[in-house]
Amino acid sequence: MFARGVVVLLVFVISGQCVLRKDRQYWEELGANEIEEALAIKNNLGVAKNVILFIGDGMGAHTVTAARIHKGGEGHRLSFEKFPHIGLLKTYSADKMVPDSASTATALLGGVKTNHKTLGVDASVSNGDCEASLRPEAKVESLAAHALRAGKGAGFVTTMRVTHATPAPVYAFSSDRNWECDALTPANCKDIARQMIEDWPGRDLNVILGGGRQSLIPNATALENDPLSNWACSRKDGRNLIEDYKKNKKSRGLNYTFVNNTEQLKSIPEDTDYLFGIFANAHLPYEFQRTPESPSIVDMTEAAIKVLQRNENGFFLMVEGGNIDMGHHRGRARTAIDEALAMEEAVKLAYNMTDPSDTLIVVTSDHAHSMTINGHPNRGDDIFGTVGPSRADGLNYTTIAYGTGGPGSRQYEIQVVNGTNQIVRRDPIQDDTTDFMYEQISAITLDENKHGGGDVGVYASGPYSHLFHNVHEQHYVYYAISYAARMGKYAERPTVSGAFSMQAHLLLYFMSLLLVLIAVI
């Protein structure tokens, strides 16, 4: 039997040339290997001591496919695609067919579908309704809160602002995702940043790593490699929440470490129980633009797990690859795919740093994007290349395109045809379509690329990963994780170990055999 994770080579060398196998024997061997791999899977019925939830923001099915092809070819599998159990999630929110990240992250982390642009609250709260969000019965506790109640460690890692739409439902309750600091928040409501520092569960999170300095301190200054963002909120109340965090931990006698660059992150004291890292004014830079001072998602995930593993009761960690979404919003497919592969490396590291017998790892997305893979490119072609020509205008087109796009995707130009100016499509072979900044063409030009409404994949490994097995509602992830880790409403559920389960099956078998023998006699 082939061991799990065996990689069947798609490419081999004949006479110095790279050849893609497509003979009958190859396909038969590949099919047989997959059957043996499937038969080797055994359900893990142990308790998930640790849970790591990876959210690839905007990482729809086509993004995963393109990442796979770009990394290793059509037959390649990403690390999480080798997980034994997978399913699909329906991403619609309580009021929108195509959702935003705040509502979908609330579904994943809080177990309810809620309204567009609201977070940490149920659907009784409308977007912008401050008073409604204050009602205790409208608030939903996150998986991180349940982990803390169970005596576990908890925290999150993000390449976005730590107050952004996906991480915020870990600790905050707000009727508007934009209320990241006081400048945009009604007086009766507390901004998301203050909730993270002052309120439970935010103040008790063991790990907070990401960007968003300008929402945390007054008068944040732009640096050469760290600009301020017009999309982010800047504090007006003069509060320095980073200093407030430090004072809180000192007053409670807790071992904490604050870091703001990669070197500090990689040299935190071993006795650190609370790690707070802010590495940018707004979002962290894309992987291809990252400087040595800015940590990667792999660096942050490694540091987070090391801190959380100090808790003997286990932990819950959410890791967001947010720049996947940012790349797609700009229509830059190469950037988005590169970010997806960066998160894949973080998944691989997390798997290797933990024990699959007691650690549930779930990889999914909050929503898809409108990216498509088009035409009939040859197997082995560059996923960021071109195909064609089109029968309509005789020009080539990119393999990847978007349904909607921003101004940069207007790849048309004015040419003189028969003495008159005409708008014609620009042939993409004139450009470097593999460049990180290249913006693929889109069908509809808007202010930016919009989200897609398709289902997203969910990939799972570890205790009770088999609970992910078909097409699920998105908020089901919260319930499956809660059940596997015996948290929240499932804190008191009975446990069944894998060994006990096998013994029970054997006992039932022998009892049945005994009854048959008695009947015969």
Q: Given 93, 101, 234, 442, which residue is catalytic? A: 101
Which residue intervals of 171-317 are DSSP H helices? 192-198, 241-251, 262-265, 297-308
Judge whether 62 is annotated as a binding position.
no
Residue 4 maps to a domain: no
- Ranges of the chain with pLDDT below 70: 1-19, 496-521
Judge whether 451 is annotated as a binding position.
yes
**Shared domain check, 434 and 295:** no
**Shared domain check, 418 and 363:** no
Would you give the DSSP letter of residue 519? H
- Reading the block at residue 488, the tokens are 């929240």
**Mean pLDDT rounded to a whole number for the chain:** 92
Q: Is 101 assigned a catalytic role?
A: yes
As a three-state string, the secondary structure of 3-56 is CCCCCCCCEEEECCEEEECCCHHHHHHHHHHHHHHHHCCCCCCCCCCEEEEEEE
pTM: predicted TM-score of the whole model, two decimal places: 0.91
Whether residue 358 contacts residue 50, with contact meaning beta carbons closer than 8 Å, is answered with yes
Residue 184 maps to a domain: yes
Residue 336: give its domain's CATH number: 3.40.720.10
The C-alpha torsion from 28 through 30 and 31 to 37, rounded to 10°, is 140
- Note the pLDDT of residue 415: 80
**Shared domain check, 404 and 255:** no
Residue 28 maps to a domain: no
- The model's pLDDT over 139-174, given as tens digits with 9 standing for 90+, comes to 999 999 999 999 999 999 999 999 999 999 999 999
Judge whether 57 is annotated as a binding position.
yes
- Note the pLDDT of residue 1: 37
Residue ranges making up the domain that contains 485: 48-370+452-490
Domain count, the chain: 2
- Cα–Cα distance for residue pair 42/351, rounded to 1 Å: 18
**Shared domain check, 356 and 306:** yes
- Of the candidates 167, 189, 171, 170, the one whose C-alpha atom is nearest the C-alpha of residue 179 is 189
Judge whether 100 is annotated as a binding position.
no
What letter represents residue 187's amino acid? A
Residue 290 maps to a domain: yes
What angle, rounded to 10 degrees, do the helices at 61-72 and 333-353 form? 80
Would you list the DSSP string of 283-330?
SPPPGGG--TTSPPHHHHHHHHHHHHTT-TT-EEEEEEETHHHHHHHT
Judge whether 455 is annotated as a binding position.
no
**Shared domain check, 184 and 255:** yes
Residue 520 maps to a domain: no
**Shared domain check, 464 and 413:** no
Judge whether 131 is annotated as a binding position.
no
- Cα–Cα distance for residue pair 281/379, rounded to 1 Å: 42
Number of continuous H segments (helices) and E segments (strands) in the chain: 13, 21
Judge whether 398 is annotated as a binding position.
no
**Shared domain check, 156 and 83:** yes
Residue 327 maps to a domain: yes
**Shared domain check, 441 and 355:** no
**Shared domain check, 155 and 70:** yes
Whether residue 166 contacts residue 105, with contact meaning beta carbons closer than 8 Å, is answered with yes
**Shared domain check, 114 and 81:** yes
What angle, rounded to 10 degrees, do the helices at 476-485 and 101-110 form? 30
- Cα–Cα distance for residue pair 425/440, rounded to 1 Å: 13
**Shared domain check, 276 and 409:** no
- Cα–Cα distance for residue pair 85/60, rounded to 1 Å: 18
- Note the pLDDT of residue 416: 82
**Shared domain check, 458 and 424:** no
- Reading the block at residue 508, the tokens are 């039932």
Residue 316 maps to a domain: yes
- Note the pLDDT of residue 495: 75
Residue 264 maps to a domain: yes
